[in-house]
Amino acid sequence: MNIDPRVMSQLLKLQMLNSSTLISGGTPDPEQSGSDFSAILQSYLGQASANPGSVSTDPLASSFLPANLLGINQSYSPLQSLSRQSAPGNYEALINQASSRFGVDSSLIKAVIDQESSFNKSAVSSAGAKGLMQLMDDTGSGLGVTDPFDPQQNVHAGTLFLSSLLKKYNGNEGTALAAYNAGPGRVDRLGIRNDLDLQQKLHLLPKETQDYVTKVLGLKQKYE
């Protein structure tokens, strides 16, 4: 799939202003949570905020993340295939290509794919998100995707969207991931602009999103 990043970037800006859940079919209503995930994520974000000069935040330290959380995808629907691809090996070249093209760390792309679909290209969520990076139909269409189950189209579109979120939030990975799951509109309405804001307002986001951010950051470390 040939997507002009400049054209797609402009389109994404329009989409982000009008959409609350563009990718992954995130939970529609905020709910508060006092789960352990909040404390884990806040510990990570506290470390990141201590180095404001860095554009890209450091990965979540393994000591903060319980081992049994790695590789778990709680947003995965019973409608999706129960089979889990053993590793990202089949998509290594594709992921590296998307990483180079859109300037997103390959380990972050792998982490998102792992959490979203467990590397199952045929995955479909209960909300209708499809493929490796779980694109909603409207988002995929806006990015020029004609077949969401085609790995190249799906990964390129998902990575482009993730890249735009990282740029929007100045490299704050936690905030970008929250927007990927819950939608940038919701994140913006809460006044979350960076990972320090996310730490302070984490409880205002859906529990699904709180868990999602923590898990993806942990998976990113796994793939580094």
Calpha distance 128→205 (Å, rounded): 21
Count structural domains, the chain. 1
What's the chain's length in residues?
224
- Give me the domain span that covers residue 19: 5-223
So what's the pLDDT on residue 89? 85
Determine the Cα–Cα distance for residues 23 and 129; give it in Å rounded to an integer.
7
Residue type, 54: S
Count other Cβ atoms within 10 Å, centred on residue 171. 15
Structure tokens at 209: 């999103």
Spatial separation of the C-alpha atoms in residues 51 and 140, rounded to whole Å: 35
Which is the catalytic residue, given 116, 173, 208, 224? 116
pLDDT by position in tens, the chain (length 224): 444 444 445 445 444 444 444 455 554 444 433 444 445 455 545 544 444 433 343 333 333 343 333 333 344 444 334 344 446 789 999 999 999 999 999 999 999 999 999 999 999 999 999 999 999 999 999 999 999 999 999 999 999 999 999 999 999 999 999 999 999 999 999 999 999 999 999 999 999 999 999 999 999 999 99
pLDDT of residue 88: 78
- The pLDDT value given to residue 152: 97
What is the domain-level CATH number for residue 170?
1.10.530.10
The answer to whether residues 198 and 172 touch, using CB atoms and an 8 Å cutoff, is: yes
Active-site residue, 116 included: yes
